[in-house]
Each structure stands twice: as C-alpha cells, then as structure tokens.
Amino acid sequence: MVCSMLIEAIAVSKRYGRDWVLRNLDFQLAQHEAVALVGPNGVGKTTLLRVLAGLVRPTQGSVKLSGRVGFLANPPAFHRHFTGAENLHYALRLDGKTGGRSEIRAALTQFGLPHDKPVLSYSSGMKKRLAMARLHLQNPDIWLLDEPEAALDAQGRGLLENLVQQARSRGGVVIATHDKSWLSLVDRIVELQGP
C-alpha cells in the first residue's frame, strides 16, 4: 500500500541573524497521520510550523506540500473590533470561499461562541475557540496547530480533540505542544533538540 505524503521537508534550516533555530531538519507527514512536535522552548517548534505554513522561508532546504494548509497560531490573530461572525466571514473570503451566514452561525454555536460580540470582548480561551471554528470552516488538508490547548478549559479541550480527529480524517495534523496528554492521541512524536 502506497502512503501519500502531505508534507516532505528536506534539510530545512532557519537562521535569524547569527542564530540557527532549525538546522538540517527532515520532516514528513503522511495522509491521515497526527504528529506531535515536542521539546523545550526555543528549539524551533513554532518556527517549523511557520515554515511549513509558508509564513517564513527556510534559510536552506526545501518543503513540498500536497494540499491546502490551515494554521492555528498561538496566540491566534483576529480583527479586534469585528464580531466573531465577521472575522469568520473575512477569513473565508481571504481563502476564496463563500461561507453563508447559516454556516458561520452554526460554527459559532458549535464552538460555544456569541454571534454578535466584538472579539475585543473575548477571553483568550474564546479567541482560541474562534480560531478552531475558522479552521473547521476552512477545512484544509494539512492542519498546523501551535500549542492549541493553551487557554482552553475542559470543554474547549474536548472541542479541540474532536477538531484533531476531523483534521486526521480529512488529511493530516501537526501539533506543537508542551502538553504530554497529547502524546497518547497522536501517531508519532518528533522531538526537536535545537540546532
């Protein structure tokens, strides 16, 4: 049986000034795989996700992606004066999708969010839920999650675990985390040691 690769990163290195954050890293993500990136602060977990998401270019090496990418940053970024619904509508338009009001309302309800309050009134956990709702609506092939459990309560954590299962069934997911409870929920663990 041939295993389809969603991500093939070869000898990826990233330097900021004189400091190497990543050096000669090879990384692969297979179809329907969930991978946890672990390691102490500063070893390049977030940098690797940002390289894979196309937000920063590697200094050396290459990255090949097969499919659309969704990135949940930590902390997530939104237009503070927009409502949750307006933020979701805007994100879908940027993604070339036309999300109907009923679809957006259903996502806000699913993730336990108000329909008409501006994001500046949201707590950190609510912003994380809004980021989850955005990914749910965008439904990419490759899901990149940077410390997704941060600021979530138990109910939010349950929603996140369901989202990870959705990600795995759709394509694949990479989770950068310090939370050891994720390790039982993924197929593979990649420990970054730093350059």
In a domain, 173, yes or no: yes
In a domain, 4, yes or no: no
Contact 52, 38 (CB under 8 A): no
CATH of the domain at 175: 3.40.50.300
- How far apart CA 151 and CA 104 sit, in angstroms, is 23
Q: What is the pTM of this model?
A: 0.91
In a domain, 17, yes or no: no
- How far apart CA 115 and CA 108 sit, in angstroms, is 7
Q: Which domain holds residue 42?
A: 30-58+68-191
pLDDT band at 51 (very low <50, low <70, confident <90, very high): very high
In a domain, 100, yes or no: yes
**Structural domain total, the chain:** 1
In a domain, 174, yes or no: yes
Q: What is the pLDDT of residues 124-167, one digit of tens each?
A: 999 999 999 999 998 899 999 999 988 899 999 999 999 899 89
Q: What is the pLDDT of residue 101?
A: 86
The helix/strand/coil state of 118 is: strand
Q: What is the pLDDT of residues 60-84, one digit of tens each?
A: 999 999 999 999 998 899 999 999 9
In a domain, 95, yes or no: yes
In a domain, 12, yes or no: no
